[in-house]
Structures are given as structure tokens and as C-alpha cells.
Amino acid sequence: MEPYRIINENGCTLEPSLFEHVQYEDDFTAGIYNPLPIRFRGSSSSVQFFCSTTLVPMVGDKCPRKMCTWNEYGVNNNFGKNE
């Protein structure tokens, strides 16, 4: 089975019905809030999540971040679905 992206390279959700955008507590701590339990149907009873992290140099005393926007009712949310 092919991996299915739920967060893009900017930290923006590709599945707003499942997960919110990445939320940053500070420059070194981030998380994804999921208010609802998730159930996927398939031959396996488990779900595996894989993460890729990237270190980005600070600009001055700030970490540059992309602004995430989406409309959960729109067709083209978050810079293109599963680009």
C-alpha cells in the first residue's frame, strides 16, 4: 500500500477532517492536534504514522514558517491535495 500524506512539507494539513495544521509551542516543539478518534478500514487493524523532520536555519531570532490556510468545504485546500 502506498503512503498517504496527511501533512504537507509546510506543516499544513491535507486532511482537515482528521487533523489540524501543525501547531508550534516554540521553536523546538510542535504537534498535531486530533480531536477525534481515527478508524481506517483495511486488511490490517493497525495504522502506522511516519514523520520526516527538517531543520531550517533561523532568520534573526525567528524560525521561518509558512502560513497554512484552508477551507474544509473547498476542493483545493492547502496548496493542492496530496501534491
pLDDT digits (tens, 9 = 90+) for 18-75: 788 888 888 888 888 776 776 767 667 677 778 888 888 888 888 888 888 765 544 4
Secondary structure of the chain as H, E, C letters: CCCCCCECCCCCECCCCCCCCEEEEECCEEEECCCCCCCCCCCCCCCCCCCCCCCCCCECCECCCCCCCCCCCCCCCCCCCCC
Res. 80 pLDDT band, cuts 50 70 90:
very low
Instruction: Report whether pLDDT(76) > 60.
Output: no
Grid cell 521561518 is found at 64
Grid coordinates of 58: 533561523
Strands 22-26 and 29-32: antiparallel
